[in-house]
Amino acid sequence: MPEAQLRTFRPAVVMRRYVGRFAPSPTGPLHLGSLAAALASYLDARAHRGRWLLRIEDIDPPRELPGAAETIARQLEAHGLLWDDAIIYQSQRLSYYEAALQRLSARGLLYSCTCNRKRLRELNGRYDGRCRERAANPQGSGSALRVRVDQDPEVHYRDLLRGPQQADLRDTGDFVIRRRDQLIAYQLAVAVDDAAQGVTHVLRGADLADSTPRQIFLLRQLGETPPRYGHIPVMVDACGRKLSKQNQAPALLAAEATANMHRALTWLGLPPPGELADAPSAELICWGLERWSEILRDETATYNKNK
Ligand code: GLU
Ligand code: ZN
C-alpha cells in the first residue's frame, strides 16, 4: 500500500497495549493482603487481554530477607498467578536509575541535602527546601539527593477505583530520590521501571496511594507517560490492623491456596459460590476473571450510555 494511503488508516490515538505488573519488595513472604493486590492487578490485566509482569524490587538490601524473592515467585505460582516474560530484578537495573538521575540533574532539578535526622524529624514530613539554595553542597556519603517540586507541583489523576484525585507536592516538599546511604529511593526506581516496561495500569494497595503523585511527577519530569493507577483497600485483620509483614501477617501457604483465593476474591467483592468451595486456584481464577470481565463490560456500557 502506498505511504499516503497508509497514513489515512493510521488511528488518531495510538492505543497502548495493556501491561500490568506486580512489584513486591523481597522483605518477606507474601501474605493475604499482598495476594489480594496481586490478584486485582492480575485479573484486570487478563480481563483486558493484557500482559502481566513480575518485578522484584530488591534495591533496599538492609530490609531484605535472603530467599524471599524465590519464595514470592513460588507463592504466586501456587496460587495460579502466572506472569509473562522473565522476572525483572531492580538490583540489576542501577545504571538506568543513574541515567534518570543524570536527566533530572541536567534539568537543574536535583540538589544534595545534608539535613540531619533530628532536623528532618522536627520538620514533620514537610521538607522546607533549606538545602536547595546552597549551591555547593557536598555530594556523596552522608547526603541525600532531593528533587525539587516547586516548578510543577500539582498532580491530578483519576484513580481507576477511587475517582479523581489531586495533590500538591509542596505539601510535603522536595523529596528524596537517592538516600543518604546512597541507595536509590523507591519512588525513582518504580517510576523508571514502570516507564521502561511500558506499564499502562498499576493496581496496588491503598497504602501506596500517597506515593502515586510523586511517581506521576517523576515520570512527567522524565518525559514519560504515567500509567493509570488504581488503589484497592488494604486488608485488615480482626482487630482492624493493616495486614503487613511488620504486623506478622502469616505467610501464604501453598497447601491453603484454595482458602486463600476465596478470601482474596471475597475481599475484592467477588465471593465465589459454594460449589467452588474446594476448587483449585486455577479454577477460582477462571471464575474471578469471568466476573471481573463482566464488571468491566457493565462499566463500559454505563460509561457509553452516559457519554
Ligand atoms: N515494592 C513496593 C512494595 O512492595 C510496591 C511497589 C508498587 O507496587 O508500586 O511495597
Ligand atoms: Zn536539607
Sign of CA dihedral 186, 191, 197, 201: positive
Give the Å distance between the CA of 24 and the centre of ligand 1: 5
**524529624: which residue's cell?**
121
84: closest CA among 231, 190, 199?
199
Helix or strand holding residue 282 (H, E):
helix 281-306
pLDDT band at 1 (very low <50, low <70, confident <90, very high): very low
pLDDT band at 108 (very low <50, low <70, confident <90, very high): very high
Give the Å distance between the CA of 170 and the centre of ligand 1: 23
CB 25 less than 6 A from any atom of ligand 1: yes
Ranges 8-22, 67-81, 131-145, most confident: 67-81
CA torsion 264→270→271→276, rounded to 10°?
-90
**474446594: which residue's cell?**
278
Helix or strand holding residue 204 (H, E):
strand 201-205
The ligand with the least distance to the CA atom of 202 is 1
Helix or strand holding residue 202 (H, E):
strand 201-205
User: What integer pLDDT is reported at residue 74 of this predicted model?
Assistant: 98
DSSP 3-state of 102: helix
Burial of 176: CB neighbours in 10 Å, binned 0-12, 13-18, 19+: middle
228: closest CA among 11, 84, 21, 14?
21
Give the Å distance between the CA of 222 and the centre of ligand 2: 23
175: closest CA among 135, 221, 230, 206?
221
User: What integer pLDDT is reported at residue 140 of this predicted model?
Assistant: 62
d(CA 250, CA 92): 29
The ligand with the least distance to the CA atom of 143 is 2
Q: How many CA atoms lie within 13 A of 210 on its CB side?
A: 6
CB 229 within 8 A of CB 18: no
For residue 198, which amino acid is it? G
Q: Which three cell numbers stand for residue 10?
A: 493510521
CB 209 within 8 A of CB 230: no
Mean pLDDT of the chain: 92
157: phi then psi, degrees, rounded to nearest 5: -155, 160
pLDDT over 50 (residue 54):
yes
DSSP string, 61-114: GGG--TTHHHHHHHHHHHTT-PPSSPPEEGGG-HHHHHHHHHHHHHTT-EEEE-
Please tell me the total number of residues recorded for the chain in this structure: 307
- Between 303 and 177, residue with greater pLDDT: 177
The residue-averaged pLDDT of 113-142 equals: 84
d(CA 175, CA 126): 9
d(CA 133, CA 131): 6
CB 54 less than 6 A from any atom of ligand 1: no
d(CA 293, CA 297): 6
The ligand with the least distance to the CA atom of 142 is 2
Give the Å distance between the CA of 235 and the centre of ligand 1: 15
Q: Which three cell numbers stand for residue 68?
A: 524471599
* pLDDT tens per residue across span 212-268: 999 999 999 999 999 999 999 998 887 888 888 777 789 999 999 999 999 999 999
DSSP 3-state of 198: coil
Smallest CA separation from ligand 1 atom 6, residue: 23
